Structure 1
Amino acid sequence: MTTVLLASFLGSLWTVAAVLDAPPSSFLLAWFGIVLALIDLRHHRLPDALTLPLGAALLLLQSHRLGEAALGAAVFGGAHLAVRRFRPALMGGGDVKLAFGLGAPLGLPLLLPAAILSSAVTLVLATLKRSRRVPHGPGLLAATWALTTL
């Protein structure tokens, strides 16, 4: 059942991205995002074997604006690293690594909206699960996909 839902959701995201003529990063984010979000929701972990290749691929896809992409990655990842450093209970290391990669397609203008939207998604998840301990990765992935696609 989970596989069917996963495939349906992926198909929906790909269809939206295709209809909107979204950049290649949207398709990559849809594929990795669903898998990573599912893993994070079930196990509260974001495996390096997926987050690091995703970050590298997102940066490479921005080769036409590499300086801006690297700056976005550094600022977005750095902000999450600061939260992790000063309040480790609020954010896991996988979220920080993921944020570095997701900052590349966002660029500077979309970093603040991404932070706000990802926090809102995480709060909705916390409300739905009736828990204060929810992963932030799905929020980061959903916000980045939405902002780079729509």
Structure 2
Amino acid sequence: MTTVLLASFLGSLWTVAAVLDAPPSSYLLAWFGIVLALIDLRHHRLPDALTLPLGAALLLLQSHRLGEAALGALVFGGAHLAVRRLRPEFMGGGDVKLAAALGTTLSLPSLLPAAILASAVTLAIAAVKRTRKVPHGPGLLAATWALTTL
């Protein structure tokens, strides 16, 4: 049943991306996003075996704007690293690596809206699950997909 739901959700995201003539990174974010979000929601982990290849692939897709992509990764990942250093209970190391990977696809002006939207999604998940301990990865992934696709 979970596989059917995931396939349906992925199909929906790809359809939206196709209708909007979204960049190739939207399709990559949709696939990796669903898999990573599911893993993070179930296990509170973002495995390097998925986040690092995602980061490399997203960076390759941004080769036409490599400097801005690297700066986006540095700023978005650095901001999340600062939170991790100041309050480690708020964010895991996987979230920091994921934020750096996702920062490659975001323009510099969209980094702050991405952080705000990711936090809003994380808070919504916390409200639905009625717990304060929720992963931040799904929020990061949803916000990045939305900002790069819509």
Shift of 1:139: 0.1
Aligned residue number for residue 72 of structure 1: 72
Where 1:89 maps in the other structure, the secondary structure is coil
Shift of 1:107: 2.1
Would you tell me which structure has more helix in proportion to its own residues?
Answer: 1
Aligned residue number for residue 59 of structure 1: 59
Aligned residue number for residue 131 of structure 1: 131
Amino acid at match of 1:30: A
Where 1:105 maps in the other structure, the secondary structure is coil
Aligned residue number for residue 13 of structure 1: 13
Aligned residue number for residue 115 of structure 1: 115
Amino acid at match of 1:99: A
CA distance in 1, matches of 2:107, 2:59: 11
Stretches of structure 2 lacking an aligned partner (at least 5 in a row): none
Aligned residue number for residue 26 of structure 2: 26
Stretches of structure 1 lacking an aligned partner (at least 5 in a row): none
Contact 1:71–1:107 (Cα < 8 Å) also in 2: no
Q: How does 1:91-106 map to 2 (within 5 A)?
A: 91-106=91-106
Aligned residue number for residue 145 of structure 1: 145
Where 2:104 maps in the other structure, the secondary structure is helix
Residues 65-120 of structure 1 deviation map (CA, whole Å, 9 limit, x = unaligned): 00000000000000000000110000000000000000000021110000000000
Identity %, equivalent residues: 88
Question: Normalization by structure 2: what TM-score?
Answer: 0.99
CA distance in 1, matches of 2:39, 2:107: 26
Aligned residue number for residue 45 of structure 1: 45
Amino acid at match of 2:39: I
Amino acid at match of 1:15: T
Amino acid at match of 1:8: S
How many residues align structurally? 150
Question: Normalization by structure 1: what TM-score?
Answer: 0.99
